[in-house]
Copies of this chain bind each other. A is one copy, B any other.
Amino acid sequence: MTTGFFNRKDILNVKSLQREEIEEIFNTARSFQEVVRRPVKKVPALRGKTVVNLFFEPSTRTRISFELAAKFLSADVINFSSSNSSILKGESLLDTLRNIQSLNADIFVVRDSSCGTADILSRNTSSSVINAGDGIHAHPTQALLDMFTVLEKKGSLENLNVLIVGDILHSRVARSDMEGFKKFACKVSICGPVNLLPFYIKDLGVDIFHNLDDALEDQDVIIMLRLQSERQEKGFIPSVREYVQFYSLTEERFLRKKKGALIMHPGPVNWDIEIASSLKREIHPLILEQVNNGLCVRMALLYLLSGRHEPFN
Interface residues of A (CB under 8 A from B): 36-42, 47-50, 58-61, 64-65, 67-68, 71-72, 76, 78, 80-81, 83-86, 88-92, 95-96, 98-104, 229, 267-271, 284, 288-289, 291-292, 295
**Could you list 13 further interchain pairs (A-B, Cβ under 8 angstroms) beyond the known A50-B68, A60-B84, A96-B268?**
A40-B47, A42-B47, A48-B72, A58-B84, A59-B86, A61-B99, A64-B78, A72-B76, A92-B271, A95-B269, A99-B268, A102-B295, A103-B291
Contacts of A81 in B (CB 8 A): 84
Given A59-B86, A60-B80, A86-B60: A102 and B289 interface contact (C-beta under 8 Å): yes
CB closest residue in chain B, given A86: B60
A106 to B57, CA, bound (A): 28
A295 touches B103 (CB 8 A): yes
Q: Which residues of B contact A50 (CB under 8 A)?
A: 41, 68, 71
Which residues of the other chain, B, contact A88 by a CB distance below 8 angstroms? 58
Q: Which of B80, B104, B289 contacts A292 (CB 8 A)?
A: B104
Across the interface, A76 reaches (CB within 8 A) one of B39, B65, B68, namely: B68
**Which residue of B is nearest A42, CB measured?**
B48
Instruction: List B contacts of A48 (CB < 8 A).
Output: 38-42, 72
Whether the pair B284, A89 counts as a contact (CB closer than 8 A) is no
Known A50-B41, A76-B71, A78-B68; contact A292-B86, beta-carbon cutoff 8 A: no
Determine if A86 and B61 form an interchain contact, defined as CB atoms under 8 angstroms apart: yes
User: In whole angstroms, what is the CA distance A216 to B4 when docked?
Assistant: 55
Q: Which residue of B lies closest to A85 (CB)?
A: B60
6 A–B contacts, CB within 8 A, in A order: A36-B104, A39-B49, A41-B50, A60-B80, A90-B270, A99-B267
Across the two chains, which residue of chain B brings its CB closest to A99?
A: B291
Interchain CA distance A40-B37 in the complex, whole Å: 26
Residues of chain B within 8 A of A289, CB atoms compared:
102
> Which B residue's beta carbon lies closest to that of A58?
B84
A129 to chain B, nearest CB (A): 17
User: How many angstroms between the C-alpha atoms of A66 and B307 in the bound complex?
Assistant: 27
Q: Distance in Å from the Cβ of A268 to the closest Cβ of chain B?
A: 4
Separation of A269 and B58 alpha carbons in the complex (Å): 26
Give Cα distance in the complex from A224 to B92, angstroms.
18
What residue of chain B has the Cβ atom nearest to residue A62's Cβ? Answer: B86
A42 CA / B245 CA spacing, docked (Å): 57
User: When the two chains form their complex, are residues A295 and B80 in contact, meaning their CB atoms are under 8 A apart?
Assistant: no
A68 and B104 contact, CB distance less than 8 A = yes
Q: Is the CB of B288 within 8 A of A98?
A: yes
Q: Is the CB of B91 within 8 A of A292?
A: no
